[in-house]
Structure 1
C-alpha cells in the first residue's frame, strides 16, 4: 500500500465527530499530511479548546472548530453555510464519521430515538454531501468517506435503529459513488468491527457489568469471544485506511463497503 506523502498537501478536510475516537484520529492523520482541518463534535469548551490548541501546536496547516447539532437539519444547514464562509471553494475531503446508537427491541424503541439515530447517521451525511459535492465536481476531485459499521452488513437483535442507519449509509455511499464517478470523486463506506474506541467501549462496559468483570478483563474476554484475530480494531488502523482512500492509489476504489472487523462477519 504505497501512499504519496505530499498528495494531500493543501487539501481541506471536514471530519464530523472529530473530538474523540475515530474522528479525532482521522483528523490528526489528515492534518499530519498537510490538510487544513474542520473539526466538529461533542465536548466541553475546555476539551474543544484543548484539541484545537493541540492541532495548532503540532501542525502548520489551518484548523477550525465549527459547532453543529447533527440531530437537526436547520443546524446542519447553518453549519454548511459557516464552513463555506471559511472555505469558499468548499472542502476536498468529507469524512462523515459522527454517529449515535440507541439499543432496544423494535416494539420498545421510542420514535424520537429512532429519528435521532437516523438523522445523525444518514440524513446529516446526505445533507453534507449534497452541500459539498458540487464544489468537488467543479474542482474535478474529491473524497467522501462515510463511517458505517459491520452492523451495516449484518445485524443483532435490539439494534434496529443502529443497523438500519449503518445499512442506509452504505446504500447512500454506493449511489453517491456512481453519481460522482465521472468527476474524479470517490465515495466509500468504512465498516469497523468491535474497536478500541468510544462506541465499542460502551458495549464493553455493559459486558463488564453483566459479568462482574473489570473493563480490561471484559475487553479481553469480549474481543477473544467475538473477533477471530483476538484483537480489537484500533483507531490507527482506520486512520491509515482513510489516508489510503484519499490517495491517488485509491482513485478507482469507490462505492465499496470496506470491512475492518477482525474477521467477525466471516464467521
Structure 2
C-alpha cells in the first residue's frame, strides 16, 4: 500500500507538533510547517524525525501573508508532486482582549491565519485530493454516501478509541458512522 503524505500547519509546537509526531510514528510522510526558521524549529523537527517511519520535511511559511501561503503550496507540491493526502489546518492564533482594545491590525492577523489560510490551503490541495480514489472516500467535506454497510469492526475500532485517553476531551458529542447516509 502506498504511504500517504500529511501536511500539518502550525506543527512546531503544541497540538500541531503532537499531530505531526503521531502521523510520523504511524508511517505517514510528514510535511511540517511553521513560521519559525528551520534553525528555530530544529527541536520540533528532530522530535518528529526521531520516531518517523518515513520522510519528514519542514517548510517555513508565514501563513498570515499571501506570499507565505503561495510559498507553502509550491514547496509542498515540490515535495509531494502527486499531491498531499491529508491536510491538517492547525496553525492559528488567539488574542484575548476586550474588543475595544483589539486593533484592526491584530484583528486582520487573526482572520488571516485562522480563516484565510485554511481557506486558501483547502482550495489549493482539495481538488487534487478529490482526484485520488482513496482520498475521495476519506475527504471530510465530501458528503456522498459510500454505499457500503458499516462493518462491526469499524464500530469496534471507534469504541476502542472512545475508551482511550485520546478521547478524554470528547464529551457530549454525537458521532455518526453510517457511510454518509444521513448527510445525503
TM range, smaller chain: 0.7 to 0.9
Change (3 A) 1:75 1:42: closer
1:44-55 correspondence runs (5 A): 45-55=38-48
Number of equivalences: 156
Q: CA–CA distance in 2 between the matches of 1:47 and 1:250?
A: 44
2:166 to 234, 237, 243: 237
**Deviation (angstroms), 1:29:** 1.0
In 1, the alpha carbon distance for the partners of 2:101 and 2:71 equals 33
Offset, 1:72? 0.5
Q: 2:87 aligns with which of 90, 94, 101?
A: 94
Query: C-alpha deviations, 1:167-222, integer Å up to 9, x for none?
Result: xxxxxxxxxx2xx33497xxxxxxxxxxxxxxxxxxxxxxxxxxxxxxxxxxxxxx
**Structure 1: gaps (5+ residues):** 1-6, 146-176, 185-235, 242-248, 256-267
Whether contact under 8 Å (2:11, 2:33) holds in the other structure is yes
The ranges of structure 1 where at least 4 consecutive aligned residues each deviate by more than 6 angstroms after the TM superposition are none
In the superposition, the TM-score normalised over structure 1's length comes to: 0.51
Query: How far apart, in 1, do the equivalents of 2:43 and 2:25 lie?
Result: 17
Q: Which of the pair is proportionally richer in helix?
A: 1
- 2:143 aligned residue (181, 206, 210): 181
CA RMSD of aligned residues (A): 3.0
C-alpha distance in 2, partners of 1:79/1:53?
20
Matched with 2:15 is 22
8 Å contact from structure 1 (residues 140, 183) kept in 2: no
1:31 is aligned to: 24
Quote how far apart the aligned CAs of 1:130 are.
0.3
TM score, norm. by length of structure 2? 0.72
**Paired residue for 1:60, among 39, 53, 56?**
53
